[in-house]
Amino acid sequence: MQMGEGVEWGLHCCVTLGWLNDEAPVSIRRLAAWFDLPPEYLKKRLQALAKAGILHSTPGARGGFSLARPPERITMMDVVTALEGPAEAFRCTEIRQRGAGAEGGRFGRPCGISAAMRRAELAWRRELAGRTIADLMADSAPAGERTRRNYARLPG
């Protein structure tokens, strides 16, 4: 059960875009060079964030991506959902209702296993929903300072 790399990329890009708010928008080329990532594929992931309303994309020359909302109103859960999809990791296929074991049974109530997994995923989601991009920016404020400084003298 592995999470896509895009999540790490998306979170770092959101934090960086938060720090570079004055320079917005930031082009894909620069973001990709910033983290040494494949530009085309990074573009695709950020487009997903734009479609979810997390990023705003401005076309044309000097275009690029910027945060669509203040960083306090973007949670980690938002980013994960936009990039990984809204589906839960555990999918109950109701195997108890198939095969010889299902005979003569009435399964009105939901599957206990499914319910337990859902509770666990809810706890996970709650943690992620309680932490915003602004929190992440504050966690490493010196890195943000350095980012602003280095970005100014970036070629391209």
Which two structure tokens, joined as six digits, stand for 3? 């999470």
Q: Where are the beta strands (DSSP E) in the chain?
A: 55-58, 64-67
Which positions from 34 to 53 touch DNA by CB under 7 A, shown as an x/- string? Answer: ----xxxx-xx-xx--xx--
Segment contacting a copy of itself by CB under 8 A, of 21-29, 43-51, 59-67, 105-113: 105-113
Q: Which residue type does 64 have? A: G
C-alpha–C-alpha distance, residues 156 and 147, integer Å: 16
Stretch that binds DNA, among 33-41, 94-102, 105-113, 118-126 (CB under 7 A): 33-41
Number of Cβ within 10 Å of residue 62's Cβ equals 7
The reply on whether position 41 binds a copy of itself by CB under 8 A is no
What the block records as the tokens of 125 is 């989601």
- Please choose, out of 61-69, 73-81, 103-111, 139-147, the segment that lies near DNA by the rule CB under 7 A: 61-69
Q: How far is CA 10 from CA 71, 117, 125, in A?
A: 13, 26, 17
Smallest gap from Cβ 106 to DNA, in A, equals: 27
Q: Which residues bind DNA (CB under 7 A)?
A: 1-2, 4-6, 27-29, 38-41, 43-44, 46-47, 50-51, 57-65, 84-85, 156
